[in-house]
Amino acid sequence: MSVNLQKEIPVRDTNISSNSPMEQFHAKSHFWGRLTIWPVILLSISLPLILSFVLGYHPGWNVVLSGFFAYASIVAVVWVLEPLMYYPILGASGTYIGFLTGNIGNMCLPSAAAAQNAIGAQPGTEKGEITATLAIGAASIVNKVLLIPMILGGAILVANIPEHIQQVFPLILPAIFGGVLAQFAIKKPIYGVIALVIGFIINLTALAVYIKMLLCIVLTIGICLLLEQRNGKAQV
């Protein structure tokens, strides 16, 4: 009797995905994110296209290009900076929902940060991304529920708000950012101090607004990274 000593090689089931659950989640996030973002983009540009080429209200390319370059010279850098700034906290799925919903700085980002802080989830982790996604989704639903009646009756409501209360409206967004800064800075106060000092010094300069924003971000991140590297070497 002959004995077959050759080891049997298991056949891998090609129907079973080797991707981790988080990779599958990201794949679905990219699929549905792109599927929803692109129609919104098309709908956004459809109105000016219809006004220009269907109804005949096109103002001329010189006016369009002049307005575009004037606007882009001020905020074009934000088109690149905002996704980079928000992604570590929002994650891939939260970024799609945030940019689709809008109000990232004054609603999505604070909601994600507050939810992560409430359950102890670190930004940039899988737990942090899932938390941010759920928080932004809930905030978006609440926002829409409140926004619809506000759109219908908001003009009447705002008109009846006393003028001395309306004067505090421009302070709401800085207050939100201040709260988010304090929430993260309390974990490492030195980084909060660095960000405040850099922001204060740069805002005293006569640079353009988008240059100030870029310098604040780059210098704060750069200095904090240098401190982290130095602390890491000191502990070794």
Q: What is the pLDDT of residues 116-170, one digit of tens each?
A: 888 988 888 889 899 999 999 998 888 888 877 877 777 777 777 888 887 887 8
Separation between Cα atoms, residue 57 and residue 35, nearest integer Å = 31
Range in 5-14, 33-42, 220-229 the model is least confident about: 5-14
Longest dimension (CA), the chain: 101
Question: pLDDT band at residue 236, thresholds of 50, 70 and 90?
Answer: low
Query: What does the domain layout of the chain look like in residue ranges?
Result: 21-187
Q: Token match 């800075």: residue?
A: 185
Buried b vs exposed e over 123-153: b needs ≥16 C-beta within 10 Å? beeeebbbbbbebbbebbeebeeeeeeeeee
- Residue carrying the six token digits 């000092």: 197
Amino acid at 202: I
Burial track 7-18 (b if 16+ CB lie within 10 A, e otherwise): eeeeeeeeeeee
Contact 198, 218 (CB under 8 A): no
Q: Is pLDDT above 90 for 46?
A: yes
Q: How many CB atoms lie within 10 A of CB 93?
A: 22
Residue 14 has what pLDDT? 43
- How far CA 74 is from CA of 62, 63, 158, 217, 218, in Å, comes to 19, 17, 30, 17, 18
CA dist 28 and 22 (Å) reads 10
Distances 19 to 23, 78, 90, 125 between C-alpha atoms, Å:
6, 34, 22, 17
Name residue, tokens 């900076």: 81
Torsion from C-alpha of 53, 58, 62, 68, nearest 10 degrees = -90
Helix or strand (DSSP H, E) at 64: helix 61-101
List the one residue out of 44, 42, 60 whose CA is nearest residue 52: 60
How much is the pTM?
0.61
pLDDT tens profile 49-101: 999 999 988 888 888 888 888 777 767 777 887 788 788 888 888 899 988 88
